[in-house]
Amino acid sequence: MGIAVFLGILFFLLAAGGIAVAILSFRPKKAGRNVAAGNKVRGGVALGIGGLFIVLFLTIPFSFHTVNAGEVAVVKHLGEARITRTAGTYFDFWLTEKYQKYDAKVQNLSIATTAYSKDAQTMDVNMTVQYQIDVTKAIEIANHYGNLSVLSNRIESVSIEKAKSVLSSYSAMTIIETRATVSPEVESVIKESVNENYYVNIVAVVLTNIDFTDAFEKTVEDKMIAEQEKLKAEYEKETAVINAQKELEVAKLQAEARIEMAKADAQAQVEVAKAEARAIQLKSIEVARALGFTITETPIEDDDGNVTDIEYTIEFDGKTADEIKLISDYLKYVEYLAKWNGELPDVVVTDGNAQIILPTPGA
């Protein structure tokens, strides 16, 4: 464009200068006939040069055409679209060649419409369609649509039609729950319909907003609240069951602990009884010795030959019945204590008297 401006200014100045010289040459002056004839000749030449530069001014500068980056131009020869021009500067005679430029950058088309779901719910839909013309089809665009405004209107109509078709195949709740799935489907359908028929490439289609009626949105909100309350109740129920199970396990563990403690107490009492039986046994041996009974001691050894205990035997030969009874009672009591399992003896009350019944050995 700069060279066209430069040449336009240059040709205009040269044409103006030639015309000025011609005017000055044709002005009447007091001079001889030869001088006057020379001035006329010089004026004619200057006029011719000025006229030539006027023609050049009207043809050459206006025949330079610049196509900017991001544009494509369709060159029409006497109204017929013949060739396309991309970014650059070109020289085409402006009286026969006309340039029609198209924006080849991505176009952003904002669309607002009303649609219906499968269950007849009304929704206000806002979406954005981004498209870019196919520069190789610029001549077809010029022949069929003339300009981008007409083409954009056609793309908008097709996009609305296809979006409504997709949305009408889903229920309102499905659209709300799966909008991330519905939007790509709308994009796919619009791409398939537009790309092949309208000489453009759809870059993206995005459902920016879907609004249902206030009544339906209130219904959805109530349903969501009910579902949340149901989930809360189920959670509380599960929590109560878990807590009850925990408490049951704790109770079981506590019961088992009490049982083990009782067993331990019983075993401890048995051990104490055994110790007491051993002590009484030794005391009975001392009593037997004191009464003159003969005591035989037999060492008890383990598998390694180590003495672990001593077994005492009392000889009753030559002793009175009372002496034998005394020692026998001691021994019976010792035997009872040695075998006692930790249970208390039975108590029988008869005629106001209490009798303690000791279990017999081996019982």
pLDDT at 120 over 60: yes
Q: Is the pLDDT of residue 355 over 70?
A: no
Task: Give the phi and the psi of residue 112 in degrees, each rounded to 5.
Answer: -130, 130
Q: Enumerate residues 6+ apart whose C-beta is below 8 A from 183.
A: 205, 206, 207
CA distance 102 to 75: 11
- At 32-75, the pLDDT tens digits run 454 455 555 666 666 667 666 677 667 676 777 778 888 888 88
Question: What's the chain's average pLDDT?
Answer: 75
- Give the residue from 79, 83, 78, 75 showing the smallest Cα distance to 101: 75
Percent with pLDDT over 90 in the chain: 7
Q: Report d(CA 143, CA 81) in Å as an integer.
A: 7
> Would the pLDDT of 203 be above 80?
yes
Mean pLDDT of 17-40: 57
The per-residue pLDDT for 32 is 46
Q: List b or e across 167-181, with b for residues whose CB sees 16 or more CB atoms inside 10 angstroms.
A: beebebeebbeeeee
3-state secondary structure of 301: strand
pLDDT at 354 over 50: no
Q: DSSP H helical segments within the chain, as ranges?
A: 2-26, 33-59, 138-144, 148-167, 172-177, 179-194, 214-290, 321-339
Beta-strand pair 88-91/346-350? unpaired
Residue 26 · residue 54 · CB < 8 Å? no
User: Residue 25: what pLDDT?
Assistant: 60
pLDDT at 208 over 70: yes
28 has a pLDDT exceeding 80: no
For the chain, give every domain's residue range.
2-99, 106-212, 262-357
At 168, give phi and psi (nearest 5°).
-70, -10
Separation of alpha carbons 235 and 138, rounded Å? 63
How many other β-carbons are positioned within 10 Å of the β-carbon of residue 117?
Answer: 21
Confidence (pLDDT) at 129? 92
This prediction has a pTM of 0.49
Average pLDDT of span 153-179: 88
Counting residues of the chain whose pLDDT is more than 70, the rounded percentage is 68
Residue 24: predicted pLDDT: 60
Top-confidence residue, 129 or 341: 129
Architecture in CATH for domain 106-212: 2-Layer Sandwich (3.30)
Q: What is the mean pLDDT of residues 106-130?
A: 89
Q: What mean pLDDT comes out for the span 167-187? A: 85
List pLDDT tens digits, range 268-300: 776 776 777 677 677 777 777 776 777 787 888
pLDDT tens for residues 218-268?
776 677 777 777 777 787 788 878 887 888 788 788 888 888 787 777 777
Q: Are 284 and 329 in contact (CB under 8 A)?
A: no
- Say whether pLDDT at 132 is over 60: yes
Mapped onto helix, strand or coil, the DSSP state of residue 288 is helix
Model pLDDT, residue 127: 92
Comparison of pLDDT for 256 and 112, the residue scoring more: 112
pLDDT > 50? residue 1:
yes
79, pLDDT greater than 70:
yes
Strands ordered across the beta sheet of 80-85: 80-85, 71-77, 97-103
Residue 128 reports pLDDT greater than 90? yes
| pLDDT-derived band at 160, boundaries 50, 70, 90 | very high
Angle at 121 between CA 115 and CA 125, to 5 degrees: 30
